[in-house]
Structure formats: C-alpha cells, structure tokens
Structure 1
Amino acid sequence: MCFSVARTSQSFVAPAEPTPDETLFLSIIDRVAGLRHMVRSIHVFKHGREPAKVIKEALAKALVPYYPFAGRFVDDAEHGDVRVACTGEGAWFVEATANCSLEDVKDLDFPLMISKDELLPVPSHEFDPINLPLMMQVTEFTCGGFVVGLISVHTIADGLGAAQFVNAIGDIARGLPKPAVDPVWSREVIPSPPKLAPSAPPLFDSFKLVHTTMDVPESAVNEVKANYFEHIGQRCSTFDVAIAKLWQSRTRAIKLSPDSDVHLCFFANARHLMQQQVLPRGFYGNCFYPVSVTARSGEVVGAELVEVVRMIRDAKAGMAAKFGRWATGDFKADPYELTFTYNSLFVSDWTRLGFLDVDYGWGKPLHVIPFAYFDFMAVGIIGAPPLPRTGTRIMTQCVEEEHLKAFVKEMSTSRVIN
C-alpha cells in the first residue's frame, strides 16, 4: 500500500482578539546570526477527536497573549538587526489527512514510512517562511491519531520557549481559560555586552552528512553512570553519557590524526545564571550559552568512556564563570560565533524541553522527532524512543557515507558502552 498525505486547507490563523500593534526589540542572543533558521519537528499522538479543528481554535486563542508569534521578522536597516513587527497577521496553519492508520506506519518510528516533508507545513509561495515565527500542520490518521508538524524560527524562542508556547496551545485546547504560564517578553533583561569589531563572515562548508538513528538501552546508560560514580566519586546524567558515547564513537570513526583537535559543542540553558536581573517566569526568548569541549583526537579515541564524560562535566562546571564574563564584556572571542567544520560535533537535548508534556486533551505524545539538520553542521540529537519503550534515542547527521559503517559499529560495540 502507498501511504500518503493530502493537505485539505491552509491559511493564516490570526489572534482571536485584538493585540498590540508594536515592534519589539530582540535580545543580543536572539539576534545571533546562526539562529535565523527554521527548526522542524513532528509530534505523534495516539488519539484525538477533530484535532485539527481543536488545535486551530486553541492556536488563535494562544496567539492573544503570545502575539509576537503572529507577527513578522523585519530587518532594521538603521540599527542593522532584526526585530519583530507585531502585525497580527497570524501563524501559518495547514490541515491534512493521511490514508492510513498510525499502526500501518509503525507509529512513525524510524525509518519513516511517510516522508517528513508530507507531515510538515508547506508555506505558500507568496511569503518567505524565514520571516514567520511559526507554522503548523495537523495531519489526521484513519485511526483517530494525529501528527503535529511544527516549524518555528529559532530567533524568537529557544527550545524551552518554543515548548512553552506549544504547551500553552495544549492548555487552551484542554479547556483552560488561558495558558497555565503567562508569557513574558522582557528581552531587555538579557545581558547586552559590547559588540566586538565585525569579523569575516563565517564559512559554511557543505558536507554530505547522512542520517542514522540508534537506541541505547537504559541499562547500558545506568552501567556507565555507576562506573563513573565508582571511578570519579560524582554522579553524571544520561545526557553526559549519551554525548560522551556519541563524541567518542564519531571521533574513532572519522580517523583524524591523533594530534588533530576535535570539538564538541552543546547549548546549555543559562536562565539560572542570570545575576543582575532574574528572568521572570514565563520568559520564552533565547537564553542559552554554547558549552564547548576541545581535545586531541587521540585523547578522545583512547580514553575510557568515563574520562570522556569527565571532560564534558568539567566544561559544564566552567559554564557559569564563562557566562558571567561574557555578560560583562570580558571576552576576546564571541562564544556565540561558532565554527562549523568536520571535526566539530554539535549536540542538542530534546528530552527536557517540554515537548513531551504537550497535551491537547487526549494525552501526551507517543514521541517527538526533531529535524534540526543542516549540511554544514555535524549534529547529534538526544531524544527518547516511542512509548512504551525506555532508554535514550540518539538521532544523528554527523558523518559522511565513508565513515557511517565504522560509526555505527563503534556506537554498538559493548566496550564503548561499558
């Protein structure tokens, strides 16, 4: 059987009530050039009753307090940065139906039996999607299940902020009179250190990176945690173990010279590090700091996994001091200006953002699949396998075809896990 999706309607959903007509400033982190991109994900739900209708109505109501999501990004020629024009034009919303049940397509577990391109909203040729903060598609399946395809532009919100907004839509869909968390803009609270002199534009080399997904059993992660505690005398997280395993396996697979530097970078929530002003509850803008680890290839290849975990935890321990220095302008190189090379791996954790808690009235999602991939950026995303399975799912686009077999072998070799 050929599984397919038919889009039945598409339109802008405007706020259900009048909203302020204003232009809002973005923070210095919001305006990081690399964040002006679309983050795509699909969210799979087992049951629903007219979910497209319910979610569309809830979206309109949620856009009243979250009205910047109904606006447009505009470039300010005078100041040379981007702002949000709160025009009230609305978010792009697509309704669709699939010709099968979720069971027919194995609940959209990997490998996908329906292309992500059919499940994500397609913009009209009449507008540039990079200027829209949000686009959504709700695809209904014959079994009553549904999939929400979400595209948001990172400039307006980080992962925690985007999940806060989507949870607000869920709150209203379930019958709450307003979102459980009141949104707060407050971008002026984010530090604004002096800008460095403009540097040369970053180079974006294109790589032929290939996708692969693998699940790590909970027992294997717990084994590393116990081993780490025994050797180091401290506890470590599932995230620490997962990215250490990923970084070491990738470094072994790409076989650089032992003296070559390899880099690991992940974007850590910095809300708790704000010192001058505390971020108010409900803030949904970008507030993260790039945590980087650099080591010689030979060091990462030959180390015990617990030593790689320790490298990562040492970098995390130094984050508060580095963020504090950045906030006061005490830095020589902008930590938010990143270099994308084949010896660099970027990792994102989607398990704690809040997307797995979204409930439109029929329960939380079976699973969430992010597609934050670019051909210039070697990426690993930490997630969770579909319920009821446990463990850690690692979704990657981080090696080229010639290194894929070795990478998969290293990831699945017991000595890497133990």
Structure 2
Amino acid sequence: MATHKSMPFFVNRKDIVFVKSSKSTPQEVLLLSTMDNDPTLEYIGQTIQVYKSNDLESPKDPVAVIKEALSKVLVFYYPLAGMLKRHKNDGRLRLYCNAGAGVPFLEASANCKLSSLHYLDCLDIAVTKKLVFDRPDDEIDVTRFSCGGFTIGMGMSHSVCDGFGAAQFYRALAELASGKSEPTVNPVWERNRLLVTTPEEPKSLVDKAFLATSRHIPPSDVVHEFYNISSESIKRLKKALRANESGENYTSFEILAAYVARAKFRSLEMNLDGYTVLSFTANIRNHLSPHIPDGYYGNAFFEPRMIMIGKNLSEGPLLKVVKMIANSKKKAITTESIMTLLRNMEWFIEKKVKSRVARGWTFFTDWRNLNLIEEVDFGWGASVNMIPLPFDVHGFIDLCVFMTPCRMDSLMKGGMRVFVSLPRACMAKFKEEMDVLKRGEVNNLI
C-alpha cells in the first residue's frame, strides 16, 4: 500500500459566505422519492477533487471562477440551496426552497505545494479532512496551494443526489465555469417517478442471528486507507481465472470485489460458519419503463445482494465468488424488481428502521463509472485525483469504493484504487492479504 508520512501544513480559511443563484428561483416545497427517503442515505457525502497548476496558461483565480459558476448553476439546481427536513407528522423528507437561500462556500489557502502532499494520493485522511468543513448541508470549498494548484471540496446530501446525480451537478458547474450559458444536461426533479405508497415487507435473505460475527465489530477505532492495485496485478488474476474457466472473461470489478471481500472477511476474523452478504450498486436509470429522463439527479440505484457461508468466502475457490458476483450482475433489473425494492423501502420507512446491517456485510460501489477525474475541466485541465472522505454510514466499515488511480502516479496507469475502512487492529492483516495479489501469488487462489 502506498503511504505518505503526514506532514503538518496550515490552511487559512476565510469566513463562510452563502452563494445565491444569479437569477430568481422558485420558492416552493419539494417532495422526495421513496428511495430518497431511505434513512440510511441521510448524510452528507464529501469528496475532494485535485487540480494541479497549469503552466501553459494563466486563467483567472479559481475561487472567483468557481464562485461565479456556482451562482449560475444554482439557477438550474436551485433545490441544492434548499433546506432538507423530515416532517414531524409523516416522517417524510421535504426540501424547502427559498428564493434568497444560498449554498455555503468556503475559500481557503494552504501554505504548501500539492506535490509535497503527493496530490493527496493515499494521504492520511486526517490531513485531507482539513480541506473541507463539516456542515449538515451541501457545500463547496476551494483551497489554493502555493504551486498554483487547488482543490475543490464538495459536500452533497445523499438524500437529494446519488453518485450519478452529484457527478451531473459537478459537470454542470464546470461547464458554466468554462463559459457555457447552460448545462449540456438540464436537471430533472420528477421524484414522483420513484415514489410508492404501498409498503411491502421484504423477504429476509438470512436471519440476522446467523450473520457472521467478529470480535472487532462494533469497531472502537476505525482507520481509512487506499490500496493501489496495479494493472499487472489485475491482468495476472484475470489470466489465472480464464485458465480455470475455459476462457470466460470477468471484469476487473468482479474479480477485485471478490478478492477484497475475502481479504476483509479474513482481516476481521469473522466466524466461518456465519453468513456474509455482498452487495453493490447498479444504476437503474435505463431499466425502468418508461425510462427515467436524462437529467434526473435523485437516487436511482439497485443493490443486488449475494449471501454465502463465511467458510466458502474465506477458504473456498475465489472463482466461485467471482462467478456469483458476475451472475448477480447479469440478472435482469426489471421494472417490477425495482418497484418491489421501492415497496420494501416504503415498509422500512413506515417502520422507522434502517434496512441495512453492519455485521457480516460488505458493500461495493464503483466510482470509476462517474468519470470525474479525466472529464471535468474548470479551465485548468482535468482533475488529477479524487478523494472520498469517510462518513458515518453502515458503521463505517462496510463500504468499499473502487476508484480511478491518481493520474500523477504513472505506475498505476490502468490500475485501480480501493478505499477501505477497517478497525485499526485489522488493517495490517488486510494489507497482508492484498500484498499476496501484488506479489503475483494467484495460482492458489482460484
């Protein structure tokens, strides 16, 4: 695992200002979808985009450019300046949009070069968090560095936007910063498309009493780290799998999700006779009939779930786990299966319980599909790195994020990063498991 020694650096923050829409916007109360109302999504997801200095051009100050673009994009995305509240009577979320509301904006400067922080690549999260501020609402932070580079921190309510929705907003912000008068994709609210009123009690995959346990859960001391997986390591594992499956091809996501799930299970020292659940996100925008319109930025994802005995995950052939994930991805996501999911969510909302459990669960999300590192340009070239910040969801340790590597690391071209959160006592064991892949010792894994 690539690591960089944390170095003290000073971030000088100015006072928070509220950036308002450059034009008048509606004053209204917006309802959210059943999926948006899922209590497990009620948090602010934070990311940091890293932009190095552009030696060929001298554009305007990034703070001024982004602040102006924010005021323009809020004409189209004015709900993001609204106030989100659960109604005291029915417990449903409502978004209160006020014409004079704004989005918190923080300008800051750091007394070092981005290169001295390795462009935040695998940097200590405690250091990285200095580049954002914690607020219970959406926010934008821009921090200049002495080299001329800068970072953009963004906090978005997951109740209002999923990953694709947040990426859509971020692209729109960049487009308006680059001089366009309106976004290429205009935002669509229409949360009624994923709204149901008839609850349906979900069928349980497994009794919670039979889920695998660990003496490390619930965790008292959680650490968050990135692990770099080179393209060569991925190719070796794919080749070994093809040799044992008569030429069957599996995606990088499928094989690495299986490998990481096993490494996590072993590092947590979970009981082998307990059940474990693997899950991942799948975009449903094109699976409903009629389709969700382009521009919809609310939550619109499915979570295929697989259950298996811990012994099979930890000690069985890795190929079986890969096949299980691949087969789950191939299953048709139909309009009916999506509506069943929504009815299940409605049942959880009415019962005021969270639908997920932390114990025995590993949840994967693939941010490479968002294409935010290479495609979004505010006038200084594409981003060179993107960092997710940990948030208090799923007990911290269930979520694994697959990401594009930092573009400043030439050795990682074509590779992948995985962001993991584990109890401190388990991280060393996780690294040992991942290092087996790095060393190319794959033949005994299949």
TM-score computed with the length of structure 2 as normaliser: 0.84
Give 1:24's aligned amino acid: L
Give the match for residue 190 of structure 1.
194
1:58 match: secondary structure: helix
Alignment partner of 1:395 is 2:419: yes
> In structure 1, what is the equivalent of residue 283 of structure 2?
269
2-side partners of 1:215 and 1:320: how far apart?
Answer: 31
Conserved 8 A contact 2:37-2:159: yes
Moved more, 222-231 or 95-104: 222-231
Tell me the amino acid that sits aligned with residue 368 of structure 2.
Answer: T
Q: Map 1:9-408 onto structure 2 (within 5 A).
A: 9-47=15-53, 49-88=60-99, 89-112=101-124, 115-123=127-135, 129=136, 132=137, 134-192=138-196, 194-196=198-200, 205=218, 207-230=220-243, 231=245, 233-275=247-289, 277-318=290-331, 320-321=333-334, 324-328=336-340, 337-356=354-373, 357-374=375-392, 376-378=395-397, 379-388=399-408, 389=410, 390=413, 391-397=415-421, 399-408=422-431
Residues 191, 298 of structure 2: 8 Å contact kept: yes
Counterpart amino acid of residue 433 in structure 2: E
Aligned counterparts of 1:332 and 1:67: Cα–Cα separation in 2? 30
Aligned to 1:410: 433
Quick one: which amino acid aligns to residue 39 of structure 2? A
Q: Structure 2, unaligned stretches of length 5 or more?
A: 1-6, 55-59, 203-207, 209-216
Query: Any idea what SS the aligned residue of 1:184 has?
Result: coil
What's the secondary structure of 1:9's corresponding residue? coil
**2:125, 2:282 → 1: CA distance?**
33
Structure 1 residue 197, shift from structure 2 partner: 6.7
Q: How many Å separate the matches in 2 of 1:329 and 1:117?
A: 35
After superposing the two structures, state which structure 1 stretch, 45-54 or 18-27, moved more: 45-54
Q: Distance in 2 between matches of 1:83 and 1:155?
A: 10
Instruction: Write the deviation string for residues 119-176 of structure 1: whole angstroms up to 9, x where unpaired.
Output: 00344xxxxx2xx3x2011000111100011111101110000010011010000111
Unaligned runs of 5+ in 1: 124-128
Q: Which moved more, 1:30-39 or 1:97-106?
A: 97-106
Residues in 2 aligned to 1:184 and 1:46: alpha-carbon distance in whole angstroms = 33
What is the root-mean-square deviation in Å for CA atoms of aligned residues? 2.7
> What percentage of aligned pairs have identical amino acids?
29
SS of the residue corresponding to residue 320 of structure 1 reads coil
- Residues 267 and 329 of structure 1: CA distance in aligned 2, closer, same or farther (over 3 Å): closer
Give the deviation of 1:212 after TM superposition: 2.6
8 Å CA contact 1:207–1:400 kept in 2: the answer is yes
Distance 1:180 1:74, change over 3 A: same
Q: Name the structure 1 match of 2:57.
A: none
Q: How much has 1:332 moved relative to structure 2?
A: 7.1
**Which position in structure 2 is the counterpart of 1:126?**
none
Tell me the TM-score normalized by structure 1.
0.89
Runs of 4+ in 1 over 4 A off after TM superposition: 204-207, 328-337
Q: Answer yes or no: is the 8 Å Cα contact 2:53–2:148 preserved in 1.
A: yes
Q: Deviation of residue 94 (structure 1)?
A: 0.2
Larger relative contact order (C-alpha < 8 A, sep ≥ 6)?
A: 2
Q: CA deviation at 1:103?
A: 1.5
Question: Structure 1 304/262 Cα, relative in aligned 2: closer, same or farther at 3 Å?
Answer: same
Q: Which has the larger displacement, 73-82 or 324-333?
A: 324-333
1:285 and 1:161 mapped to 2: Cα distance? 6
CA shift at 1:18, angstroms? 0.2
Aligned length: 404
